[in-house]
Amino acid sequence: MNPARQLYRYLVTNNRQDYHPQNFRKSAIIFSPHQDDETLGCGGTIIRKKQAGADIKIVFMTDGSGSHAHLMNPQKLKTLRRNEALEAAEVLGLDRSDIFFLDFQDGTLKFNQQKALPKVLEILTNFDPEEVFIPYSKEEPSDHWATYKIVQSALQQSTFNLTVYEYPIWFWRQWPWTSLVGRPREILSCLKNTWSSGFGYKFLTDLNCSVYVADVLEQKKMALEEHRSQIQRLVDDSSWMTLGDLSKGEFLDCFFQDYEFFYPSKIISQKLN
């Protein structure tokens, strides 16, 4: 591991505050833009909360049909990812009845915010969770920040007594957590994240709530392996990118550290547009 990453890892690990042990039993809804974000960002936490007896639901906002649409029929990919998500959730300890699919077309959530809002509000109202997990506000992909925005807006519509935890996915893709390698677009995105995090400063100021997951990493890995379309090349074509291809595997390594990191955020009033 390069020295800069080692230093960052040391700083982040020593700056963190433990998620309170009493919280493991609290009910939660995980809002996941795509089928795999829930496992990558919160998989270990979900496993530990289920072990403690918590009631957990996962809401998938989009249908995931766009990840490899240039090589597989989107309808086929949608069905595949739906089944993968159900299998992964089972490994995490959930029942099929705990999973909701809102099925907005992959990549279009920002255009469907008004349609998604009542659906999210209905789930929040019916379940009334003690915690909600949403993507980190500085996530770059549009489905990720749209998920953040829709859930925050839904939380404004009623009085909920809950804590919001934001989880990073693509935000990890920044130097020195990942090296500056790949296509120009990927390097640019890595530099952008590095800049917007203040060269890692945000990891210390925001993402300082952590859950120890080292003892459940094997189970988390097994859950991620159920997302076969994202970790295996299902078509013999090098343009079928897998999570392991990104930044030579360094991106995936970020999700298999001893801790999962969260930002326990406040509810922010945001109008949809």
For Zn ion, the binding residues (CB under 5 A) are 33-34, 37
Q: How far is the CB of 181 from Zn ion (least distance, A)?
A: 21
Query: Judged by CB, which is closer to Zn ion: 9, or 110?
Result: 110
Query: Judged by CB, which is closer to Zn ion: 37, or 63?
Result: 37
Query: Judged by CB, which is closer to Zn ion: 23, or 63?
Result: 63
Q: How far is the CB of 97 from Zn ion (least distance, A)?
A: 24
Query: Judged by CB, which is closer to Zn ion: 5, or 149?
Result: 149
Residue with nearest beta carbon to Zn ion = 34
Q: Please check whether residue 73 is in contact with residue 215, taking contact to mean a CB–CB distance below 8 angstroms.
A: no
Q: How far is the CB of 230 from Zn ion (least distance, A)?
A: 9
- DSSP H helical ranges for 179-227: 184-196, 201-205, 217-225
Q: How far is the CB of 125 from Zn ion (least distance, A)?
A: 25
Q: How far is the CB of 64 from Zn ion (least distance, A)?
A: 8
Contacts of 83 (CB under 8 A, 6+ apart): none
Contacts of 50 (CB under 8 A, 6+ apart): 56, 92, 93, 94
Query: Judged by CB, which is closer to Zn ion: 33, or 160?
Result: 33
Query: Judged by CB, which is closer to Zn ion: 109, or 123?
Result: 109
Q: How far is the CB of 169 from Zn ion (least distance, A)?
A: 6
Q: Please check whether residue 217 is in contact with residue 178, taking contact to mean a CB–CB distance below 8 angstroms.
A: no
CA 172/CA 217 separation, integer angstroms: 18
Q: How far is the CB of 14 from Zn ion (least distance, A)?
A: 29
Please provide the DSSP assignment of 97-163 as one string: GGEEEEEEPTT-GGGGHHHHHHHHHHHHHHH--SEEEEE-TT--SHHHHHHHHHHHHHHHSS----E
Q: How far is the CB of 35 from Zn ion (least distance, A)?
A: 8
Distance of CA 126 to the CA centre of its chain: 23
Give 152's Cβ-side CA count (13 Å radius).
Answer: 20
Contacts of 272 (CB under 8 A, 6+ apart): 113, 114, 117, 149, 150, 153
Query: Judged by CB, which is closer to Zn ion: 37, or 131?
Result: 37
Give residue for tokens 């249908």. Answer: 63
- Please name every residue paired with 210 in a beta bridge, in sequence order, or none if there are none: 18, 261
Query: Judged by CB, which is closer to Zn ion: 37, or 98?
Result: 37
Q: Which two tokens stand for residue 64?
A: 């995931």
